[in-house]
Structure 1
């Protein structure tokens, strides 16, 4: 990647770049990109085909396909601009209107509008759905399957901290963005985006993307250390996904500060305050 471009947010491979980069980033070819949507419950965004995971995207995520190689597709996520490689077979190109998101920590897609029918997949918080109707308390999906109506929403949640609390106990997973596994920045992003608050994918981007807190820490503020982010539940407690417990936990802010400093993983980088209300498209 050329100097001055963040690899994670640059829609370009060594072979091709998105047309918007023409004249700014030299590549052999340029493309307008092809719209796509994730059709599997969750997928890794990898640094290279068969490479290491940087982040994840959830079912229904809108993507732009920029390059393809050996069954892999290089994509950019529309929600936060994050780029990476994923399996091309995980994509679909029929794009019905998205009407809802999964608002529960997790849910199942059933083969029929009945809780006794076989489930076909599990979805996580934030999965985007195209609902075409409701029957017996189940929402029918355009691509097939039924989801409990109680687990979806067509309006954003009001409180990111309350959303984060629903993920308490979720296993820690580096780069994770789902109920199956989540990391610190994935938790912050998932909680904020459930409230229609735009949020970058990684903690350094999040720290740079929100204004510093002046005065007392309050509910919903993001707290930063090198490579780590937590969300304040109030002036004294925070919730975060941490490798210390390999899970999403709640702990006193003062205790976390002392523990992180003692481990040589500090210093505390201060607090940042995301917007208080919806400021991004939903669903």
Structure 2
């Protein structure tokens, strides 16, 4: 077993070498490599224990990150100047090592990142729903974990990890491991989670959900009663649990 990190902006975590995508990893995510074969590495992600396969050339030497990206997305520029060429884009949650501060920019191995888009590694948000709201309009993507695309469980995980709260990657595991089940008829409040078979949504406020869903194909608000009726009507059944963190 060896320690490495992700060195591409977004990396698909596959079920098998060259197989189906289960989740995604972001630049700077630390992993344990447990096996390599024919250009593929089987890894276990530090952030949630998710295991799968990634292309070996998307991994590199582990370094100590100092900051993480707290804007929905950012660019790394060739110079500490927003008019200089942009080299690469990074998503919320990506981890970088800052080498120096240059005015309004942070120097990293990738280039210069606006300092307003990153915080020190120990920084945590306090409201996971507010974090999820940053992703409004992000396209739905099965197994997605970045600003380029998210699924329902990816949106929940992004919010909780940003607040320093452990969260598995799949909605079935989230339903089993997160929070406490509330009795039927309990009035939902902001920050609760509603689960269906294969789906999860944040309670944003009174009769309002915030979720990444394949019906709207993006991260969106939807009236709670409307979503419950729609999901049942489309054949995915009723709410399976209402949980509070």
Short-chain TM bin: over 0.9
Which residue of the other structure, out of 183, 186, 202, is the alignment partner of 2:154?
186
Query: 1: distance between equivalents of 2:200 and 2:149?
Result: 16
More strand by share: 2
8 Å contact from structure 2 (residues 88, 110) kept in 1: no
Q: SS in structure 2 opposite 1:233? A: strand
What is the deviation of 1:78?
0.7
Q: Number of paired residues? A: 240
TM-score (normalizing by structure 2): 0.95
Q: SS in structure 1 opposite 2:235? A: coil
Unaligned runs of at least 5 residues, structure 1: 1-32, 275-283
Unaligned runs of at least 5 residues, structure 2: none
Query: 1: distance between equivalents of 2:206 and 2:15?
Result: 38
Q: SS in structure 2 opposite 1:112? A: coil
Query: 1: distance between equivalents of 2:127 and 2:112?
Result: 27
Moved over 3 A (4+): none
Which residue of the other structure, out of 139, 145, 149, is the alignment partner of 2:106?
139
Which residue of the other structure, out of 138, 141, 144, is the alignment partner of 1:170?
138
TM-score (normalizing by structure 1): 0.83
Give RMSD over aligned pairs. Answer: 1.1
Q: SS in structure 2 opposite 1:263? A: helix
Query: 2: distance between equivalents of 1:184 and 1:153?
Result: 25
Which residue of the other structure, out of 219, 228, 246, is the alignment partner of 2:217?
246
- Residues 30-51 of structure 1, C-alpha deviations (whole Å, 9 max, x = no match): xxx1000000001001011111
Per the alignment, residue 119 of structure 2 pairs with 153
Q: SS in structure 2 opposite 1:96? A: coil
Q: SS in structure 2 opposite 1:257? A: helix
For residues 1-283 of structure 1, what are the structure 2 equivalents within 5 Å? 33-93=1-61, 95-141=62-108, 143-154=109-120, 155-210=123-178, 211-214=180-183, 215-274=186-245
The structure-2 alpha-carbon separation of the partners of 1:260 and 1:144, relative to structure 1 and needing over 3 Å to count, comes to closer
